Amino acid sequence: MMHNIQNRNFPVFFILKYTLFCCFALLIVSCKSKKNWTDSNKTNESKTIITIPKNTTDIAILLDVNEKSLKNKELYNFIINWYGTPYKFGGNSKNGIDCSGFTNVLYNEIYKIQLPRISRDIALNIKRKYTNELNEGDLVFFSIGNSGTINHVGIYLQNNKFVHASSSKGVIISNLNDTYYAKYLVKCGSYKK
């Protein structure tokens, strides 16, 4: 028995095409009208890009804060002095340093505290805080990749920014709100002395 499509009373192909077209049009319109949730977390791209800060004015620009809010000048001068130092796993000098090495050197020099050498060991002695409770000098910990263990550490500064030894860029200031860091942040807080 043969069915003749042309003799149907209901124009199936017309409605199918029309429905698909309407769905596609709605998708396009809705995508353009939505505000991307990451827009509020993006840095102001019109600002001058600073490769290596030369002074606290440059640091204030990187942190997107008023320079007067940089009370701990010793800390920020330390960061200026180390900024851009290349990453080297197990390194502990200006020739190359890793994240926990940098955190150790900074804590020893600025806060006169000797930390354990490995980031996951540092994390064992932390008084946990929420990110909105962090103060300058608190520590932020990440589990980067699929390891399931803490394998990166940085020092919180201000305005959701932290300083750390990045494996790709060396010692830099980054934003906790960046998609990459927000995805891997697992713990933060102050070190118990």
Residue 97: in which H helix or E strand, if any? strand 96-97
Alpha-carbon Rg for the chain, nearest whole angstrom, is 25
pLDDT tens figures, 145-156: 878 899 999 999
Q: Rounded distance, CA 162 to CA 123, Å?
A: 16
**CATH architecture assigned to 85-191:** Alpha-Beta Complex (3.90)
Amino acid at 54: K
**Residues 23 and 159: beta-carbon distance below 8 Å:** no
Q: Rounded distance, CA 15 to CA 19, Å?
A: 6
Measured from the Cβ of residue 74, the count of other Cβ atoms closer than 10 Å reads 10
Q: Rounded distance, CA 76 to CA 158, Å?
A: 11
Q: Does the annotation mark 152 as catalytic?
A: yes
Q: Does the annotation mark 3 as catalytic?
A: no
| Cα distance between the two ends of the chain | 87
Picking from 6-20, 38-52, 125-139, 144-158, which range would have the lowest pLDDT averaged per residue?
38-52
Annotated active-site residue in 3, 23, 164, 188: 164
Annotated active-site residue in 3, 22, 31, 152: 152
DSSP state of 67: G
- Can you give the pLDDT at residue 98? 98
pLDDT tens figures, 25-37: 444 433 333 333 2
Q: Name the residue among 95, 71, 76 with its Cα closest to residue 85.
A: 95
